Structure 1
Amino acid sequence: MRAFRSLLSGASPFWLIAGILLIAANLRAPVTGVAPLLDLLRDHFHLSAGAAGLLTTLPLLGFALMSPAAARLGQHYGLGHTLFVAMLLLFIGILLRSSGPLIALFAGTVLIGGAIAVGNVLLPALVKRDFPDHVTTLTAAYALTMGIAAGLVSAVAIPLSGLGHNGWEIALASSAVLVLATLLVWWPQVRARARTAPPAHTAVPLAKSLWRYALAWQVTLFFGLNSLVYYVIISWLPAMLHEAGFSAATTGTLHGVLQIASALPGLVLIPLLRQREDLRAAAVTVTLLSLTGLAGLLLVPAWSLVWCIAYGFGAGAGIILALAFVSLRSASVGTAAALSGMAQCLGYLLAASGPTLTGLLHDASGSWAPILWLCMGCATIQAVLGLYAGGARRLGD
């Protein structure tokens, strides 16, 4: 009976894991779900390709600018409470973005980016704190949830957009339902943890600044290049496929397929990587799979279903490994939060340049081929970085 009461009250590991997975489900979908709607938004607001790209770039800038502060906020106010406030702000941002006016569209997008940044930074630290012996397993599980949620939101975006005169508002607001569910589950869990859990310990001081460690830069750039290519592809894949002759409905479906494929590595990596520290072979292999998908989209677009699955699987595995590196290469919760802040600040700053610059490059060249070649070059560099970031060592050792 006591165990049952504990389960209902939110004090059990069940609710903690449920809360982690629900938070993870909101860390991609509100951003990537915009891509299938970009053509509708461009037509409605008369936006250029570069301006439309800002709808994906602004959240990434929010990720970059808020990431350093997120680690400090989590340390000062507690991981659980800070994550709850971030989800509340995300809910408000989604409603604001879908309210109608152009200024609200962009203002809500900025708020969404800042809120998701906090979740991006603090979730790996929370996993390291509460599940230190299962970092890779739980990271793969929440990345799986993140990809499934993003894929479903993208897949239903076009059908929902047809429900009214300005159906894009309904489509953009749909992800608020998931955030509301997260708030309902997470708040009792936060209160229960506040009563029962001891304060998290801070970082064991490193011998030098985190920014002076080569390993920290290797993890950061592995994360950054994976994110750069992912957000370029996720932003412009529908436009690429439309230019190749696919219908709007098909491009939306393939966009969703790619994101669901990015969730599948969680199912594969959970059993394969459990308790493993040396992940060099895995890092190189999954990056080469991404490279194959990119090359296929460029050279044989008629087989886009195959290439979307290949790229999605490789990119999804890459983000799982990048997030796992943050925890596995840190000796303490505090160092994990700091490394997460560094990796996501610089990584997303790099990624933020992608959608807008590639949109402008397409406007100038009239082709998506240069963008795909650029992405392939980034993936090649990422594979090399995986040889270093994947090694079994930790910061400060």
Structure 2
Amino acid sequence: MLYYFLVPLVGEWTALNVFRYITFRSLGALITALVISVLLGPRFIAWLRRVKCGQYIHEDVTAHAAKAGTPTMGGIMIIFSLGLSLLLWADMTNAYVWQTFFVFVGFGAVGLWDDLTKLRHHENRGISGRAKMSGQCLVALVAMWLLYINDNCDTTLLIPFVKEWTPDLGIFYVPFGVFVMVAASNAVNLTDGLDGLAIGPTIVASAVFAIFIYVTGNARLASYLLVPYVPGIGEVTVFCAALVGAGLGFLWFNAYPAQVFMGDVGSLSLGGVLGYLALLSKQELVLAVVGGLFVVETLSVIMQVGYFRWTGGKRLFRMAPLHHHFELKGVPESKIIIRFWITSILLALVALSMLKLR
């Protein structure tokens, strides 16, 4: 909205020329989303308490018994603060911005459906796995189709450290993209088990993709770093920055000991949009490095289930996902969270270095 009203006045007030720059508006979006979240947080949390949106705690995790009843569905606050910040600072005539926001809200709607079902049943039983997966796939399929029919759609797959071979997936890029978004969405959902554990790495990943998106949308940088140039995609940098700000604002209240949990409305939307940002920036495979922590958490669940079935009842970990394994070994929750955050930062630095080492 600021972009729409102020840029046409550049001819009269040259100082307004800063609103043409994506970097300036990205910084404004980050700060705005952060401030909105921090100011909105106390009232929103109080409202969640009044309507009895309390978190159900799994009985196997006895250390979390004191967290029962903590307000959940805090992801709504992330979506609201990001949306308002985006409206103020982004060029809302840009189709990529709207498509990215659609993915964010769409996956969030599936998560909200699941959260409301859990609250209605007063237990940790939401919608069926099939219904959740169907909802995620539907949102991802619509997003991929909109991306595929765009004239600037690049269906090639960039391989890290390889610049000579870029396989073209063609129409198969659509189901591939659906898989990336759904897998990322569920990975973040599985990681969201400790105070601030999921939002911390998400903030880091969002900052990394802000750089990737900016490079992809800048002809000179894209040519220098040998990545496909996509006109107009640089505006999504503003979204990434707003996501960082909204995430930091949420972390203000979600840090240990948490005053609010994000719920599936938060974790599914965050994971889904990270997957879409990877697709937009042509860093689909690098997503596994940027979100390496999410990958490890997901693999721990797959390995636990597979080992349990293969051995007829034995467990590979004390409990999955992996963060619960360390909890049951006696590692303090705060220490697990900080160490996982450090790991995510290191993985982000590795991912950024891969941008130059192609």
The TM-score by the shorter chain falls in which range?
A: 0.3 to 0.5
TM, length-normalised to structure 1: 0.34
Q: Which structure has more RCO (C-alpha within 8 Å, separation ≥ 6)?
A: 1
Give 1 or 2: higher helix fraction: 1
